[in-house]
Structure formats: structure tokens, C-alpha cells
Chains A and B, each alone.
Chain A
Amino acid sequence: MAAYTTNPQAIHETIDGETIIIDLASGTYYSLRGSGSEIWNALGSSEPLEAVVARLTETYDASPAEIVAAVEAFLGDLEAEGLVVSTNGTVAVEVPETDSPGGEPFAPPKLEKFTDMQDIILLDPVHQVDDRGWPHAAQAEPA
């Protein structure tokens, strides 16, 4: 499995088990719950991915192979959004099969994406602006 670290442009906070991530570069924000929030916070705390997968296996009613596949897919989603950066390394994730999986139903980690900030950033319709000279720097001010 590829190794990742979180992108410093992606600021985040976790409250009540839900993580809010804001990408300062793009204006997009995201929500993670459950196992997604756990994996994200592990990436930020440098907890080995193998330990995270083992913990998820102990918590949820799913096989290690199922959890590893879900984690890999989730990390791919995070990378596609630029929220994590590959460290160009790999980590071995070998979690032994267990006869006593966790009891909680497993919901694969999911990245929820919100792009409505563009509407808020624009605030109000564009008008009265385009005919202005200032502050266009290209127009030299009189001496």
C-alpha cells in the first residue's frame, strides 16, 4: 500500500467523531465520519497504517482483506482531491485473519465533498466592477 501524509493546505478539526477538512487552496471542504475520520487522524498523527487497519479490524465486522481494500480506495480518493500527498514509499499492511472480528457494522470510509463555497466567496452578483480602472495595476497612476 502506498504511504501518504496529509497536505498542510488541508486544515482540519474533528468534533463529535466527524472530521471537517478545508482545502485552503481550492475553497472546497469535506466531511469524514466513522472509519474515514479514524484513518484521517491516523495519517496526521503518524500512526502506522498497519496499526490503523488492525484497529479497524478489531472494531468492525469485516475481514482484513475487505478493510485493506476499502482503506486503499479511500486513500486514493484523498490523493485525487489533493488532501494527502504520496511519500513515494510503500507500507506493508499484513493483518492476520481473525476468528473474532469486531461487532460494529463496517461502513467503508467515505469522503463527502462540498463545493458551495464558490457561491459564498462570490458573495453577490458581479456588477459595477468591470468598468473600473483602479485597482488594475496595469494602468499607471498619474505622477
Chain B
Amino acid sequence: MTGAVERAPRSGSPVEALDHLFAAATDARGTVERRYELAGMPVRVRFAGDAMLERIGGSFAHLEAPGSKHAELTIKVWDAASTGTQAPPVLGTELEADGTGPIYYYDVDGVQALSRWGTLSAYAAPGEGWFWAPSPDRMLSWDWASPLRAILHWWLGRHDILQVHGGAVGTEAGGVIIVGRGGSGKSTTTLACLAGGLRYAGDDYVAMQPRPEPRIHSLYSSGKLEPHQLERFPELEPALANPVRGDQDKAIVYAHARFPEATIAGFPLKAVLVPRIAGGEETRIVPTSGSNALAALAPSTIFQLHPPQENALSEMAALVRQVPSLGLELGTDLGRIPDVIRSYLETA
């Protein structure tokens, strides 16, 4: 049996049931393993068959590290449809519904689990995770485009690294995190930089390490586009992961598939950028307050993660205090955006 337990689960713990289901799934479909380096740490993902690898593997393709042996985190990933296994038990208590379906959260004896959007994420400290979906085809686009997000949030938190809501672009020498509410121009900025030759660490979620020096780590090579953005960046069309999609689904691109030289595992953080669509032709970088940057970064980060971390705000504030906070007044000439950011980084 290939789904062997690496760490003896506590008798009666939910992880025992999850390991049992994963073992049944790998008995049916075999095991496919991928090794990655996330936030500088080795991670192993074991898939039951290749159905889920095909669904979520593209997001991590830029972080593959096939040579590593040791793993700080091992995640077991499977689905019911391709393996013929039954659904796992529902864990925990139902949280207040948010309109996207039921949410259950569980946190007992070092095991955390979140059932949301029809999939299950579970984590047992210090380094075991499980992710289950009923079927790769039934996953929601934001769940497969930014996969394993809850597990990575819990695991990274143990290493004092925060998963934050923002895009990040730059160079090996340093980069910026781009934060803002929907419609502020955050995605447009990161996509313009991807198409314009800057290195790309992510457009929606990245990991942020405040100490010893502020640093951004890439998590996903995926990017989400509204229909109008696809029209603005036709060069991204060959990177589409879902050329056929529902009316309300965003288009997903895998940056690494189209621009393998552009993705980057991380860089030192040089500034927090708060974009604003200014309307003029030219893009400009202007001063802004740290509180403005924190307000653009913190609330959406905190409320997209379960459970909200009480120290997340102070950690983000500590980071904002370490680097300049800048406004990015976006002009209509999208091709100039990466030049303006590149020029800033060359002098930062």
C-alpha cells in the first residue's frame, strides 16, 4: 500500500480516517509524487493518481524541486471521483454561512480542518496535510487556481510567515507587493508586469516573511483575469488554463506555462504599493501613508483566512513599518507600468 502513514496518528483522530481514505485512493490509482520548495522549505505533495495533479499542479510548477529528499510538509491529495473512494467525514462545527455554501472549521489537539467550497483541507502540526475534492471537475476556479491555501496558511503560520492578499513583482534583487481592494488595479498591475518583463511571484496570494529582513515568497504561478483584462493582455491567452469556462468564472492563466523565465520563488521586499486608477496616460509612484498601505493589505488578508489570526495585523504592521509605502497612480498606457516599477526598484 502506498498511502502509508508517516507519523502515527492519534487513535480516533480524524487524521486516521483521512489516512485510511487516502490509502484506499492510492490503492486504486497509485501514487504520483511532486516535490516543491515553498518559502524556502521543502514540501512533498503525494497525489492519488494524476487527476488532482492535473487540476492543481500547474499553480506550483515554478516551485518544483525534484531533487530534495527531506520534507518539512507532506500533503496528501485525492478526489473521490477518479479513485472511487467515499467522501471524508465532515469535521468541526458550521461557521456562519457567507453565501458560498456551508463552511465547517475544526481545531482539536493540533489538527485543523476547513470544509469549504465542497473541498476539505486538513492539517496536523507540524508537517502533515490532506486535501480532498469530490472531483477535480467540480472544484471552483478560485479553489484550484490557488490550491491548498488553508493548509499552507496554517503551516506557514507555524514558521512566522503570513499568507497575504496581494500580488508581487520585481527582480531577484528586490520587489514590491501590490495591495488593494477589488477594482483598484492590483491585478492589472501584476499582469502588466508579467507581460512587461518583471519577475512574477503571484497576483493574488503570496507569502510574506517579516523577519529577519522582509521577504516575499511566491506560492502560485496562477493569475486570475476578468474578461476585460484578457482583452487587454492578449499575449496571456496561450497561458489560459480554462479556455472554456462559465459566464461567472474568471479566466486563469499559469504564468509559468507561458513565461517560465518570468516566475520567481521570491525576493527581498522593497516597498508596499497601493495602486489607484488615476485616469491619465502616465503611471506615477507617489508617497502614501503606512496606514493607507495597512488598510489596503490587512482586512482582506485577515478575513480570507480561517481562522483570522489575531497577530496577523501586528505582523503586517511590522512589515509596513520596515519598507516604504507608496501609491501607484495607474495610467492608461499599461506598457509603462512595469517600466515605472522597474525604475523605482533600481533606485530603492
Q: Check if B67 is an interface residue, CB within 8 A of chain A.
A: no
Q: Check if A117 is an interface residue, CB within 8 A of chain B.
A: yes
Q: Check if A92 is an interface residue, CB within 8 A of chain B.
A: no
CB distance from B348 to the nearest CB of A (A): 20
CA distance A142 to B88 in the complex (A): 10
| Residues in chain A near residue B142, CB distance under 8 A | 123-124
| Residues in chain B near residue A129, CB distance under 8 A | 100-101, 117-118, 140
| Residues in chain A near residue B116, CB distance under 8 A | 135
B299 in contact with A135 (CB, 8 Å): no
CA distance A128 to B182 in the complex (A): 22
| Residues in chain B near residue A116, CB distance under 8 A | 181
Q: Check if A122 is an interface residue, CB within 8 A of chain B.
A: yes
| Residues in chain A near residue B70, CB distance under 8 A | none
Q: Check if A13 is an interface residue, CB within 8 A of chain B.
A: yes
A20 in contact with B294 (CB, 8 Å): yes
B86 in contact with A135 (CB, 8 Å): no
| Residues in chain A near residue B295, CB distance under 8 A | 20, 29, 31, 114
Q: With A126-B99, A134-B90 as given contacts, are A117 and B300 in contact (CB-CB < 8 Å)?
A: yes
Q: Check if A15 is an interface residue, CB within 8 A of chain B.
A: yes
Q: Check if B198 is an interface residue, CB within 8 A of chain A.
A: no
Considering only residues 39-63 of chain A, those with a C-beta below 8 Å from chain B are none
Closest to A130 in B: B101
B313 in contact with A15 (CB, 8 Å): no
CB distance from B20 to the nearest CB of A (A): 13
Closest to B98 in A: A121
| Residues in chain A near residue B314, CB distance under 8 A | 11, 13
B118 in contact with A15 (CB, 8 Å): no
A136 in contact with B102 (CB, 8 Å): yes
A13 in contact with B299 (CB, 8 Å): no
CA distance A121 to B115 in the complex (A): 16
Q: Check if A99 is an interface residue, CB within 8 A of chain B.
A: no
| Residues in chain A near residue B308, CB distance under 8 A | 24
Q: With A27-B303, A119-B182, A121-B304 as given contacts, are A22 and B101 in contact (CB-CB < 8 Å)?
A: no
Considering only residues 290-309 of chain B, those with a C-beta below 8 Å from chain A are 290-292, 294-295, 298-300, 302-304, 308
Binary contact track B220-252/A, C-beta < 8 Å → 1, others 0: 000000000000000000000000001010100
B299 in contact with A134 (CB, 8 Å): no
| Residues in chain B near residue A110, CB distance under 8 A | none
CA distance A110 to B298 in the complex (A): 21
CB distance from B116 to the nearest CB of A (A): 8
Q: Check if B320 is an interface residue, CB within 8 A of chain A.
A: yes
Closest to B138 in A: A128
| Residues in chain A near residue B250, CB distance under 8 A | 124
A15 in contact with B299 (CB, 8 Å): no
| Residues in chain A near residue B310, CB distance under 8 A | 11, 24
Binary contact track A18-34/B, C-beta < 8 Å → 1, others 0: 11101010010101000
Q: Check if B333 is an interface residue, CB within 8 A of chain A.
A: no
A127 in contact with B246 (CB, 8 Å): yes
| Residues in chain B near residue A142, CB distance under 8 A | 86
Q: Check if B120 is an interface residue, CB within 8 A of chain A.
A: yes
B118 in contact with A122 (CB, 8 Å): no
Binary contact track B301-339/A, C-beta < 8 Å → 1, others 0: 011100010100110110011000000000000000000
Q: Check if B261 is an interface residue, CB within 8 A of chain A.
A: no
Identify 4 new A-B residue pairs, CB closer than 8 A, beyond the known A31-B291, A114-B295, A136-B102.
A15-B294, A20-B313, A24-B302, A129-B140
> Can you give 28 contacting A-B residue pairs, CB < 8 Å?
A11-B310, A13-B298, A15-B289, A15-B290, A15-B294, A15-B317, A16-B290, A20-B313, A24-B302, A24-B310, A29-B298, A117-B299, A120-B303, A123-B100, A123-B142, A124-B140, A124-B141, A125-B248, A126-B99, A126-B100, A130-B101, A134-B115, A134-B118, A135-B102, A137-B94, A141-B86, A141-B87, A142-B86
